Amino acid sequence: DAGVTQSPTHLIKTRGQHVTLRCSPISGHKSVSWYQQVLGQGPQFIFQYYEKEERGRGNFPDRFSARQFPNYSSELNVNALLLGDSALYLCASSLTGDIRTDTQYFGPGTRLTVL
Amino acid sequence: SQQGEEDPQALSIQEGENATMNCSYKTSINNLQWYRQNSGRGLVHLILIRSNEREKHSGRLRVTLDTSKKSSSLLITASRAADTASYFCATDWGSGYALNFGKGTSLLVTP
């Protein structure tokens, strides 16, 4: 079975631009979560979506937004890019999104560089 | 903020040796999970241990959990060069949906 897929693999943008990152969950999984990983740090939670509804949001500014589509794929949008947004963006999928019972399966990530 | 803190930050061993990494956390948890990350790529789930469990095994991996000390350890036995990676512990915040990761332990296994 295919795992979590993300596109693009790498992306270079300049300050002020916006970016859209995409994620396809494992077949049958209804929850998608997004994490940001800055170099040398652990991943930081950004959003979780379940059944197309936002279930939770981390401590990120409103420049970050996301949505989930009827096929459970998801997009992460970041507006007005800052240098500090340079990071590896990870998508994770699970059956229900409940981390107390479900394993989160991560994709390979999108490496975003903001110049 | 990052609740989990791994120790040591970096570990270098030779093939065949055992590697032990520790994780400490601050608040009560439902479970604790360990992940591996190769060269800044995606995270691979290794093992989940629930708060009512004390020890769990998976192949060459052994995880222990001490809720009284709010700590966990990951032991990799008979390490291989392919085990070279960063290892992260992750806990739930109580929200049920957000994993809280530590900064990770960077493991280097040399032939």
pLDDT of residue B7: 85
pLDDT of residue B2: 52
Question: Using an 8 Å Cβ cutoff, are A103 and B48 in contact?
Answer: yes
pLDDT, one tens digit per residue, over B10-38 is 999 999 999 999 999 988 888 899 999 99
Chain B closest-CA separation from residue A59 CA (Å): 9
pLDDT, one tens digit per residue, over B44-100 is 999 999 999 999 999 999 999 999 999 999 999 999 999 999 999 999 866 788 999
Check A56 against B97: CB less than 8 A apart. yes
Q: Is A42 on the interface with B (CB under 8 A)?
A: yes
Neighbours of B80 (CB within 10 A): 12
Nearest CA in chain B to A9: B41
pLDDT of residue B30: 87
Phi, psi (5° rounding) for residue A79? Answer: -100, 160
Angstrom distance (rounded) from CA B56 to CA B48: 8
Chain A residues whose CB is inside 8 A of the B34 CB are none
What residues contact B74, with CB distance under 8 A and at least 6 apart?
B20, B21, B22, B23, B34, B46, B47, B61, B62, B63, B87, B89
Chain A closest-CA separation from residue B21 CA (Å): 15
Check A56 against B45: CB less than 8 A apart. no
Q: Tell me which residue of B91, B85, B57 sits closest to B71, measured CA to CA.
A: B91
- Residue in A41, A44, A98 closest to B97 by CB: A98
Cα–chain-centroid distance for residue A91?
Answer: 4
Nearest CA in chain B to A89: B42
Q: Pick out chain A residues at pLDDT < 50.
A: none
